[in-house]
């Protein structure tokens, strides 16, 4: 891992064997925010303390009905690198939150933010409003991209509060969590446009892997998620949406059953994934049009990969 004093020696050599100081890669942040007034204040406090500052932070107001827009403007008044804008998808519209989330409204907001970036950047991060992290979080995250030129998408490891303690929520090692999801510019350009559909974060990772980019979550880089995964959708809605996503991505039924049973050990409502998946299949709902993505995903869900996936879900 690259620390503050390592940039000079690791990333540049001057003439005559003398190391020459190079600037770390520039990075920008995009935060899709809907009714996130309280969370934005906490996130802003974290960003001000970062040891490696972003070139820009754009807060995209996604049709909020609380004070999110006011808080975003207040933050923008405190630093030149903070700005705010409305999401084009929600201007003059009243889309229901749960419908919008399943149709990828946060991806629409993220894409609009990327298009609005005015400064040069090498890494762009989709940063959710409901997270916090240590002061060196982005210095370490950006350092990973510099240390590994093949790294296309990366994130920290999500911690959620459970029984009064922060505990890691592990996923497959090659999966970068959406709440702190960072893209190398060249990778994002190659795999875009992002899907406007739940499951977009699986599609873009597979496209990146097919293009020989590596993707991963960093086990030793925690971020703290202050709202449990799927909390906005409710337990039933969260897992029903996961079942629909599994259909869209063309999951193997055998893999889905095993994944459902595994998740149901902690969250019984996860059992709803199976009937939701089957209902989507019976109704012949659309599936991901990229057949190469679907083939790759099904190959990764073969029986021989299950021991590895189980170990990774345990953080091993």
> pLDDT for 189-243, tens place per residue?
999 899 988 899 999 999 999 999 999 999 999 999 998 765 565 668 889 999 9
From residue 38, give the alpha-carbon distance in Å to each of 33, 43, 73, 168, 252.
Answer: 11, 9, 14, 23, 40
- Per the CB < 8 A criterion, the answer to whether 32 and 109 are in contact is yes
Q: Alpha-carbon distance 27 to 120, whole Å?
A: 8
Residue 278 confidence (pLDDT): 97
302 band by pLDDT with thresholds 50, 70 and 90:
confident
pLDDT (0 to 100) of residue 227 = 84
pLDDT-derived band at 263 (thresholds 50, 70, 90) equals confident
Residue 166: pLDDT band with limits 50, 70, 90: very high
pLDDT at res. 20: 43
Per-residue confidence (pLDDT) for residue 310, from 0 to 100: 59
Please tell me the distance from the alpha carbon of residue 126 to that of residue 109, in angstroms, as a whole number. 10
How does pLDDT run across 15-65, given as a tens digit for each residue? 333 334 467 899 999 999 999 999 999 999 999 999 999 999 999 999 899
CA distances from 181 to 157, 184, 286 (A): 10, 10, 26
pLDDT-derived band at 311 (thresholds 50, 70, 90) equals low
pLDDT of residue 97: 41
DSSP, res 17: G
> What does pLDDT average to over the chain?
85
List C-alpha distances in Å: 64 to 9, 53, 58, 67, 100: 46, 27, 15, 8, 13
Show the DSSP H helices in 130-199 as ranges. Answer: 137-147, 185-191
pTM of structure = 0.84
Q: Checking DSSP bridges between strand 165-168 and strand 151-162, what pairing results, if any?
A: antiparallel
Through-space distance between the first and last CA atoms of the chain, rounded to whole angstroms: 19
Using pLDDT thresholds of 50, 70 and 90, give the confidence band for residue 290: very high
State the Cα–Cα distance between residues 228 and 74, nearest whole angstrom: 27
Q: Is 223 within 8 Å of 157 (Cβ atoms)?
A: yes
Q: For domain 4-225, say whether CATH 3.90.550.10 is its number.
A: yes
The pLDDT assigned to 316 comes to: 58
Which part of the chain has CATH 3.90.550.10? Answer: 4-225
The total of other beta-carbon atoms located within 10 Å of residue 263's CB is: 17
Given a contact cutoff of 8 angstroms between Cβ atoms, the answer to whether 143 and 1 are in contact is yes
Strands 131-132 and 151-162: unpaired
List all residues 6 or more positions away from 165 whose beta carbon is below 8 Å from its beta carbon.
none
Cβ of 46: how many Cβ atoms within 10 Å?
Answer: 18
pLDDT category at 163 given cuts 50, 70, 90 is: confident
């Amino acid at each position: 891992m690259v620390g503050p004093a390592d940039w000079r020696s690791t990333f540049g050599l001057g003439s005559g064997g003398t190391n020459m100081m190079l600037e770390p890669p520039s990075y920008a942040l995009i935060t899709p925010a809907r009714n996130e007034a309280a969370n934005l204040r906490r996130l802003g406090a974290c960003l001000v303390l970062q040891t490696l500052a972003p070139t820009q932070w754009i807060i995209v107001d996604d049709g909020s009905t609380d004070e999110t827009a006011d808080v975003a403007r207040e933050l923008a008044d405190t630093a030149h690198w903070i700005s705010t804008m409305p999401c084009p998808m929600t201007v003059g519209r009243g889309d229901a939150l749960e419908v919008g989330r399943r149709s990828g409204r946060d991806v629409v907001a993220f894409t609009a933010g990327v298009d609005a970036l005015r400064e040069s950047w090498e890494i762009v991060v989709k940063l959710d409003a409901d997270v916090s992290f240590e002061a060196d979080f982005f210095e370490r995250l950006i350092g990973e991209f510099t240390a590994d030129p093949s790294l296309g998408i990366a994130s920290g490891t999500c911690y959620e509060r459970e029984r009064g303690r922060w505990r890691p929520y592990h996923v497959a090692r090659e999966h970068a969590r959406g709440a702190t999801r960072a893209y190398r510019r060249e990778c994002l350009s190659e795999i875009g446009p992002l899907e406007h559909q739940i499951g977009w974060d699986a599609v873009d990772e597979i496209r990146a892997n097919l293009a020989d980019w590596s993707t991963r979550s960093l086990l030793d880089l925690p971020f703290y998620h202050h709202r449990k995964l799927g909390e906005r959708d409710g337990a039933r809605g969260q897992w029903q949406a996961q079942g629909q996503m599994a259909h869209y991505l063309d999951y193997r039924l055998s893999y889905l059953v095993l994944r459902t049973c595994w998740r149901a050990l902690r969250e019984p409502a996860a059992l709803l994934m199976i009937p939701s998946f089957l209902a989507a299949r019976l109704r012949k709902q659309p599936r991901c049009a990229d057949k190469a993505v679907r083939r790759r995903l099904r190959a990764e869900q073969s029986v021989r990969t299950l021991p590895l996936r189980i170990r990774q879900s345990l953080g091993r």
